[in-house]
Amino acid sequence: MSDPTQHSFSGSGGNLVFFEWPNENATFVALIAHGYAEHSRRYDHVAERLVSGGATVYAPDHIGHGLSEGERALVAEGEALSSDLHLVAEIARGAHPGLPVVLIGHSMGGIVATRYAQRHPGKLAALVLSGPVIGGNSQIMGLLELDPIPDVPIDPAVLSRDPETGAKYAADPLVYSGPFLRPTLEMFKQAVGDIAEGGGFGDMAVLWIHGSEDALAPLEETRAAVERLRGPRTEDKVYEEARHEIFNETNREEVLDDTMDFIRRSLAA
Report which secondary-structure segment, H or E, holds 183: helix 182-197
Please classify residue 35 by burial: count the beta carbons closer than 10 Å to its beta carbon, then call 0-12 exposed, 13-18 middle and 19+ buried: buried
Catalytic residue among 39, 210, 244, 266: 244
138 assigned to active site: no
Write the CB contacts of 250 (distance below 8 Å, at least 6 apart in sequence). 160, 161, 162, 242
Strand partners, 20: 5, 58
Catalytic residue among 40, 68, 107, 130: 107
Residue 54 identity (one-letter amino acid): G
244 assigned to active site: yes
214 assigned to active site: yes
Please state, in angstroms and as integers, the Cα–Cα distance from residue 222 to each residue in 172, 195, 218, 242, 247, following that order. 28, 12, 6, 15, 18
CB burial of 218-227 (b: ≥16 within 10 Å; e: otherwise) equals bbebbeebbe
Strand segments (E) across 185-266: 206-211, 234-239
Q: Looking at the annotation, which residues are catalytic?
A: 107, 214, 244
